[in-house]
Amino acid sequence: MTRAIRVAAALAMAGALGAAHKTALAADPAVNFAGSNTRFVGDCHGQDASLAGSGNTVTIRGACRAFQIAGDNNRVLVDMSASGAIKVYGNNNQVSWKSSGEVEVTTVGPGNTVTRAH
């Protein structure tokens, strides 16, 4: 293969990889957290986020567009974007949220509380 053809092939491959990278970024993947009986800090980077597990004490930063919990006895402080949405499924979860706007809240299960942090 001549040098010119190898260079052209390399440029074509780089262009294809660049297009694939842009497509992956455009998909806006969710950020998923999981654990049980742990303490941690996470960042949703402005994306949707979820927490699965029980007995966690968690702080989520990064202006989440939407945040969902599935589990029991979690204690969460979450940074939400304006007009975000929080959904809580399970029992006895305590969620506090911060945002420059209001968020839509849905809870399913007994003993769940969702309040604005002061």
Closest C-alpha among 74, 115, 66 to residue 92: 74
Closest C-alpha among 67, 72, 115 to residue 92: 72
Three-state SS at 16: helix
Instruction: Say if strands 94-98 and 104-108 run parallel, antiparallel, or are unpaired.
Output: unpaired
Q: How many CA atoms lie within 13 A of 8 on its CB side?
A: 5
- Global confidence as pTM: 0.75
Decide which of 31 and 6 is more confident: 31
Q: Could you read off the pLDDT of 31-73 as tens digits, one per residue?
A: 999 999 999 999 999 999 999 999 999 999 999 999 999 999 9
Q: Could you read off the pLDDT of 70-118 as tens digits, one per residue?
A: 999 999 999 999 999 999 999 999 999 999 999 999 999 999 999 999 8
Alpha-carbon distance 52 to 32, whole Å?
8
Three-state SS at 25: helix
**Cα–chain-centroid distance for residue 91?**
21
